[in-house]
A = this chain, B = another copy of it.
Amino acid sequence: MAHDERRLEVLRAIVQDFVSTNDPVGSKALAERHDLGVSPATIRNDMAVLEEQGYITQPHTSAGRVPTDKGYRLFVDRLSAVKPLSAAERKAIERFLDGAVDLHDVLGRTVRLLAQLTRQVAVVQYPTLSRSAVRHLEVVQVADTRLLLVLITDTGRVEQRVVECPVAVAGDDVAELRTLLNSAFGGRKLAEAGNTIPDLLETAPKHLRALVGAVSATLVETLVEPGDDRLVIGGTANLTLGGALDFPGSVRPLLEALEEQVVVLRLMSEVDASTVMVRIGGENAHESLTGASVVSVGYGSAGRALGGLGIVGPTRMDYPGNMAAVRAVARYVGQILAES
Protein backbone atom coordinates (compact mmCIF):
# COMPACT_ATOMS: atom_id res chain seq x y z
CA MET A 1 0.00 0.00 0.00
CA ALA A 2 1.09 3.47 -0.77
CA HIS A 3 -0.01 4.26 2.72
CA ASP A 4 2.56 2.12 4.46
CA GLU A 5 5.15 3.21 1.95
CA ARG A 6 4.88 6.79 3.00
CA ARG A 7 4.96 5.91 6.64
CA LEU A 8 8.29 4.20 6.14
CA GLU A 9 9.44 7.19 4.20
CA VAL A 10 8.57 9.33 7.19
CA LEU A 11 10.57 7.06 9.46
CA ARG A 12 13.54 7.26 7.16
CA ALA A 13 13.29 11.04 7.13
CA ILE A 14 13.11 11.13 10.92
CA VAL A 15 16.18 8.97 11.28
CA GLN A 16 18.15 10.97 8.78
CA ASP A 17 17.19 14.31 10.26
CA PHE A 18 17.75 13.23 13.81
CA VAL A 19 21.15 11.77 13.02
CA SER A 20 22.29 14.93 11.35
CA THR A 21 20.81 17.50 13.70
CA ASN A 22 20.67 15.71 17.03
CA ASP A 23 17.35 17.39 17.74
CA PRO A 24 14.03 15.64 18.10
CA VAL A 25 12.32 16.21 14.79
CA GLY A 26 8.82 17.60 14.44
CA SER A 27 6.23 17.28 11.75
CA LYS A 28 6.67 20.74 10.39
CA ALA A 29 10.42 20.52 9.99
CA LEU A 30 9.98 17.18 8.27
CA ALA A 31 7.54 18.57 5.75
CA GLU A 32 9.92 21.40 4.99
CA ARG A 33 13.14 19.45 4.65
CA HIS A 34 11.77 16.46 2.77
CA ASP A 35 9.61 16.22 -0.29
CA LEU A 36 6.97 14.02 1.18
CA GLY A 37 4.17 15.66 -0.74
CA VAL A 38 1.86 15.89 2.22
CA SER A 39 1.16 18.44 4.92
CA PRO A 40 2.51 18.41 8.46
CA ALA A 41 -0.87 17.33 9.76
CA THR A 42 -0.76 14.16 7.71
CA ILE A 43 2.76 13.48 8.84
CA ARG A 44 1.56 13.85 12.38
CA ASN A 45 -0.93 11.08 11.83
CA ASP A 46 1.78 8.86 10.42
CA MET A 47 4.02 9.69 13.32
CA ALA A 48 1.31 8.75 15.78
CA VAL A 49 1.08 5.34 14.13
CA LEU A 50 4.86 4.93 14.05
CA GLU A 51 4.98 5.77 17.71
CA GLU A 52 2.26 3.28 18.50
CA GLN A 53 4.22 0.62 16.63
CA GLY A 54 7.27 1.47 18.68
CA TYR A 55 9.53 2.87 15.99
CA ILE A 56 9.76 6.35 17.38
CA THR A 57 9.19 8.06 20.68
CA GLN A 58 8.87 11.47 22.23
CA PRO A 59 11.34 12.54 24.88
CA HIS A 60 8.46 14.52 26.35
CA THR A 61 5.16 15.88 25.21
CA SER A 62 5.54 18.67 22.75
CA ALA A 63 8.97 17.68 21.67
CA GLY A 64 9.63 16.15 18.29
CA ARG A 65 10.12 12.45 17.74
CA VAL A 66 13.25 10.40 18.16
CA PRO A 67 13.84 6.96 16.65
CA THR A 68 13.83 4.01 19.05
CA ASP A 69 16.22 1.09 18.76
CA LYS A 70 13.48 -0.70 16.88
CA GLY A 71 13.18 2.26 14.53
CA TYR A 72 16.90 2.25 13.79
CA ARG A 73 16.71 -1.48 13.22
CA LEU A 74 14.01 -1.08 10.60
CA PHE A 75 15.98 1.74 9.05
CA VAL A 76 19.12 -0.34 8.81
CA ASP A 77 17.33 -3.41 7.52
CA ARG A 78 15.01 -1.90 4.97
CA LEU A 79 15.45 1.78 4.51
CA SER A 80 19.09 2.46 4.02
CA ALA A 81 20.91 2.10 0.78
CA VAL A 82 24.55 1.16 0.79
CA LYS A 83 26.42 4.38 0.66
CA PRO A 84 29.51 4.13 -1.50
CA LEU A 85 32.60 5.80 -0.13
CA SER A 86 33.77 8.94 -1.81
CA ALA A 87 36.91 8.84 -3.89
CA ALA A 88 38.61 10.98 -1.29
CA GLU A 89 37.77 8.47 1.39
CA ARG A 90 39.11 5.56 -0.64
CA LYS A 91 42.23 7.54 -1.23
CA ALA A 92 42.53 8.28 2.46
CA ILE A 93 42.31 4.60 3.30
CA GLU A 94 45.10 3.73 0.92
CA ARG A 95 47.29 6.58 1.97
CA PHE A 96 46.79 5.77 5.59
CA LEU A 97 47.44 2.08 5.45
CA ASP A 98 50.17 1.81 2.87
CA GLY A 99 53.62 1.99 4.30
CA ALA A 100 52.88 0.15 7.50
CA VAL A 101 55.94 -1.73 8.60
CA ASP A 102 54.48 -4.60 10.58
CA LEU A 103 51.27 -6.03 11.93
CA HIS A 104 51.30 -3.80 14.98
CA ASP A 105 51.66 -0.84 12.70
CA VAL A 106 48.93 -1.98 10.31
CA LEU A 107 46.41 -2.42 13.08
CA GLY A 108 47.43 0.81 14.79
CA ARG A 109 46.89 2.70 11.59
CA THR A 110 43.65 0.89 10.94
CA VAL A 111 42.18 1.89 14.23
CA ARG A 112 43.16 5.52 13.76
CA LEU A 113 41.79 5.48 10.26
CA LEU A 114 38.47 4.01 11.27
CA ALA A 115 38.12 6.44 14.13
CA GLN A 116 38.82 9.36 11.84
CA LEU A 117 36.54 8.17 9.07
CA THR A 118 33.54 7.48 11.25
CA ARG A 119 34.16 9.88 14.13
CA GLN A 120 33.41 7.04 16.48
CA VAL A 121 35.39 4.76 18.72
CA ALA A 122 37.22 2.21 16.60
CA VAL A 123 38.10 -1.31 17.62
CA VAL A 124 40.40 -3.72 15.85
CA GLN A 125 41.11 -7.25 16.91
CA TYR A 126 44.45 -8.89 16.27
CA PRO A 127 44.20 -11.91 13.99
CA THR A 128 42.90 -14.73 16.13
CA LEU A 129 45.65 -17.14 17.01
CA SER A 130 43.50 -20.23 16.69
CA ARG A 131 42.70 -19.45 13.07
CA SER A 132 46.29 -18.61 12.17
CA ALA A 133 48.95 -20.99 11.04
CA VAL A 134 52.47 -21.31 12.38
CA ARG A 135 55.02 -19.64 10.22
CA HIS A 136 57.91 -20.18 12.55
CA LEU A 137 58.69 -21.14 16.10
CA GLU A 138 61.79 -19.79 17.70
CA VAL A 139 63.37 -20.98 20.91
CA VAL A 140 65.81 -18.82 22.82
CA GLN A 141 67.51 -19.84 25.99
CA VAL A 142 67.32 -17.27 28.75
CA ALA A 143 68.50 -19.32 31.70
CA ASP A 144 69.41 -22.89 32.53
CA THR A 145 65.87 -24.02 32.96
CA ARG A 146 64.10 -21.27 31.16
CA LEU A 147 63.35 -20.89 27.49
CA LEU A 148 61.67 -18.13 25.57
CA LEU A 149 59.29 -19.49 22.99
CA VAL A 150 58.47 -17.11 20.17
CA LEU A 151 55.62 -17.88 17.86
CA ILE A 152 55.32 -16.20 14.49
CA THR A 153 52.08 -16.73 12.64
CA ASP A 154 51.34 -16.45 8.95
CA THR A 155 49.39 -13.30 9.71
CA GLY A 156 52.52 -11.67 11.04
CA ARG A 157 51.52 -11.85 14.64
CA VAL A 158 54.31 -12.53 17.09
CA GLU A 159 53.70 -13.98 20.53
CA GLN A 160 56.17 -14.94 23.17
CA ARG A 161 55.99 -17.08 26.25
CA VAL A 162 58.49 -18.04 28.87
CA VAL A 163 58.70 -21.80 29.33
CA GLU A 164 59.97 -23.18 32.61
CA CYS A 165 61.69 -26.45 31.92
CA PRO A 166 61.73 -29.40 34.27
CA VAL A 167 65.42 -29.96 33.62
CA ALA A 168 68.40 -27.85 32.69
CA VAL A 169 68.68 -27.42 28.95
CA ALA A 170 71.89 -28.04 27.08
CA GLY A 171 72.88 -25.59 24.39
CA ASP A 172 72.70 -28.16 21.62
CA ASP A 173 69.25 -29.21 22.61
CA VAL A 174 67.87 -25.80 21.78
CA ALA A 175 68.74 -26.04 18.13
CA GLU A 176 67.42 -29.54 17.94
CA LEU A 177 64.24 -28.55 19.68
CA ARG A 178 63.77 -25.70 17.28
CA THR A 179 63.94 -27.83 14.16
CA LEU A 180 61.77 -30.43 15.77
CA LEU A 181 59.09 -27.93 16.64
CA ASN A 182 59.14 -26.28 13.28
CA SER A 183 58.81 -29.46 11.35
CA ALA A 184 55.98 -30.56 13.61
CA PHE A 185 53.99 -27.36 13.71
CA GLY A 186 55.26 -25.31 10.79
CA GLY A 187 52.52 -24.43 8.37
CA ARG A 188 49.87 -26.00 10.55
CA LYS A 189 46.85 -24.17 11.82
CA LEU A 190 47.19 -23.46 15.47
CA ALA A 191 43.78 -24.87 16.15
CA GLU A 192 44.99 -28.26 15.02
CA ALA A 193 48.34 -28.03 16.72
CA GLY A 194 47.04 -29.82 19.77
CA ASN A 195 46.42 -32.99 17.77
CA THR A 196 49.98 -33.37 16.59
CA ILE A 197 51.46 -33.27 20.05
CA PRO A 198 51.06 -36.95 20.94
CA ASP A 199 52.75 -37.87 17.68
CA LEU A 200 55.49 -35.40 18.28
CA LEU A 201 56.13 -36.70 21.77
CA GLU A 202 56.44 -40.22 20.48
CA THR A 203 58.83 -39.52 17.68
CA ALA A 204 60.98 -37.06 19.60
CA PRO A 205 64.39 -38.28 20.73
CA LYS A 206 64.26 -39.46 24.29
CA HIS A 207 66.43 -36.78 25.82
CA LEU A 208 64.13 -34.11 24.44
CA ARG A 209 60.78 -35.53 25.50
CA ALA A 210 60.43 -33.63 28.74
CA LEU A 211 61.40 -30.45 26.98
CA VAL A 212 59.01 -30.96 24.11
CA GLY A 213 56.27 -31.70 26.58
CA ALA A 214 56.78 -28.47 28.48
CA VAL A 215 57.03 -26.37 25.38
CA SER A 216 53.99 -27.80 23.65
CA ALA A 217 51.96 -27.48 26.81
CA THR A 218 52.73 -23.79 26.86
CA LEU A 219 51.96 -23.51 23.19
CA VAL A 220 48.54 -25.06 23.56
CA GLU A 221 47.69 -22.99 26.58
CA THR A 222 48.59 -19.89 24.69
CA LEU A 223 46.34 -20.54 21.76
CA VAL A 224 43.42 -22.39 23.24
CA GLU A 225 42.69 -19.64 25.65
CA PRO A 226 40.60 -17.12 23.79
CA GLY A 227 41.50 -14.57 26.43
CA ASP A 228 44.76 -14.12 24.65
CA ASP A 229 43.14 -12.34 21.80
CA ARG A 230 44.25 -8.79 21.57
CA LEU A 231 42.50 -5.58 20.81
CA VAL A 232 43.47 -2.13 19.66
CA ILE A 233 41.14 0.66 20.55
CA GLY A 234 41.21 4.23 19.34
CA GLY A 235 39.17 7.36 18.97
CA THR A 236 37.77 7.28 22.46
CA ALA A 237 37.87 11.06 22.35
CA ASN A 238 35.00 10.83 19.89
CA LEU A 239 32.74 9.65 22.68
CA THR A 240 32.62 13.19 23.97
CA LEU A 241 31.68 14.67 20.60
CA GLY A 242 27.94 14.79 21.10
CA GLY A 243 28.25 16.42 24.48
CA ALA A 244 26.28 14.66 27.16
CA LEU A 245 23.45 14.16 24.71
CA ASP A 246 24.47 10.89 23.15
CA PHE A 247 25.26 9.02 26.31
CA PRO A 248 23.03 10.33 29.06
CA GLY A 249 24.55 8.06 31.69
CA SER A 250 27.93 9.61 30.98
CA VAL A 251 30.59 7.93 28.94
CA ARG A 252 32.12 6.34 31.99
CA PRO A 253 30.66 2.83 31.81
CA LEU A 254 31.39 2.72 28.13
CA LEU A 255 35.01 3.64 28.61
CA GLU A 256 35.27 1.05 31.30
CA ALA A 257 33.77 -1.64 29.13
CA LEU A 258 36.13 -0.75 26.31
CA GLU A 259 39.13 -0.96 28.58
CA GLU A 260 37.94 -4.20 30.04
CA GLN A 261 38.12 -5.61 26.54
CA VAL A 262 36.31 -8.78 27.47
CA VAL A 263 32.98 -7.48 26.35
CA VAL A 264 34.32 -6.18 23.09
CA LEU A 265 36.25 -9.37 22.41
CA ARG A 266 33.07 -11.37 22.73
CA LEU A 267 31.45 -9.07 20.21
CA MET A 268 34.35 -9.52 17.85
CA SER A 269 34.21 -13.27 18.11
CA GLU A 270 30.82 -13.22 16.45
CA VAL A 271 31.86 -11.38 13.32
CA ASP A 272 31.57 -12.78 9.90
CA ALA A 273 33.82 -11.87 7.03
CA SER A 274 31.12 -11.36 4.45
CA THR A 275 28.40 -9.33 6.15
CA VAL A 276 28.58 -6.24 8.26
CA MET A 277 26.92 -6.82 11.58
CA VAL A 278 24.99 -4.04 13.30
CA ARG A 279 23.91 -4.21 16.89
CA ILE A 280 21.69 -1.40 18.01
CA GLY A 281 21.31 -0.26 21.59
CA GLY A 282 19.49 -2.87 23.58
CA GLU A 283 20.39 -5.56 21.07
CA ASN A 284 23.77 -5.68 22.70
CA ALA A 285 23.93 -8.38 25.27
CA HIS A 286 26.12 -6.51 27.68
CA GLU A 287 24.55 -3.86 29.80
CA SER A 288 27.27 -1.30 29.35
CA LEU A 289 26.57 -1.24 25.64
CA THR A 290 22.81 -0.94 25.72
CA GLY A 291 23.09 2.76 25.06
CA ALA A 292 25.41 2.26 22.14
CA SER A 293 25.49 0.70 18.71
CA VAL A 294 28.20 -1.51 17.31
CA VAL A 295 29.04 -1.94 13.66
CA SER A 296 31.47 -4.75 13.01
CA VAL A 297 32.75 -7.08 10.36
CA GLY A 298 35.44 -9.68 9.98
CA TYR A 299 38.56 -8.99 7.98
CA GLY A 300 40.68 -11.52 6.22
CA SER A 301 41.20 -12.98 2.82
CA ALA A 302 39.33 -15.51 0.78
CA GLY A 303 36.38 -15.62 3.09
CA ARG A 304 38.48 -16.59 6.05
CA ALA A 305 37.94 -14.17 8.92
CA LEU A 306 41.23 -13.56 10.68
CA GLY A 307 39.73 -11.23 13.20
CA GLY A 308 37.14 -8.55 13.59
CA LEU A 309 37.06 -4.82 13.48
CA GLY A 310 34.38 -2.24 13.94
CA ILE A 311 33.16 0.84 15.66
CA VAL A 312 31.20 1.68 18.76
CA GLY A 313 29.10 4.80 18.95
CA PRO A 314 25.78 6.28 19.96
CA THR A 315 22.66 4.68 18.54
CA ARG A 316 22.22 8.01 16.85
CA MET A 317 24.85 7.37 14.21
CA ASP A 318 25.14 7.42 10.46
CA TYR A 319 24.60 3.73 9.87
CA PRO A 320 24.96 3.60 6.11
CA GLY A 321 28.13 5.67 6.18
CA ASN A 322 29.68 3.79 9.03
CA MET A 323 28.79 0.43 7.58
CA ALA A 324 30.42 1.41 4.33
CA ALA A 325 33.53 2.66 6.09
CA VAL A 326 33.86 -0.42 8.23
CA ARG A 327 33.43 -2.73 5.26
CA ALA A 328 35.89 -0.80 3.09
CA VAL A 329 38.55 -0.68 5.76
CA ALA A 330 38.14 -4.38 6.51
CA ARG A 331 38.59 -5.24 2.84
CA TYR A 332 41.71 -3.18 2.60
CA VAL A 333 43.20 -4.59 5.75
CA GLY A 334 42.46 -8.08 4.48
CA GLN A 335 44.32 -7.32 1.29
CA ILE A 336 47.32 -5.93 3.07
CA LEU A 337 47.60 -8.88 5.39
CA ALA A 338 47.25 -11.28 2.50
CA GLU A 339 50.16 -9.61 0.76
CA SER A 340 52.63 -9.73 3.56
Contact = CB atoms under 8 A, between A and B. Distances in A.
Contact of A102 (B160, B240, B250): B160
A136 B135 contact: no
A252 B236 CA distance: 9
Interface of A: prevailing SS = mixed
Instruction: List the number of copies, as a whole number.
Output: 2
Contact of A150 (B104, B150, B340): B150
Contacts of A103: 160
Nearest to A148: B152
B158 A160 contact: yes
Interface in A133-163: 135-136, 138, 140, 142, 148, 150, 152, 156, 158-162
A237 B136 CA distance: 39
Q: For chain A, which range describes its interface: under 10, 10 to 19, 20 to 34, or 35 or more residues?
A: 20 to 34
Contacts of A138: 136, 138, 150, 152
A39 to B, nearest CB: 42
19 contacts: A101-B161, A102-B159, A102-B161, A102-B162, A103-B160, A136-B148, A138-B138, A140-B152, A148-B152, A158-B158, A158-B160, A235-B259, A236-B236, A236-B255, A236-B259, A237-B251, A237-B252, A240-B250, A240-B251
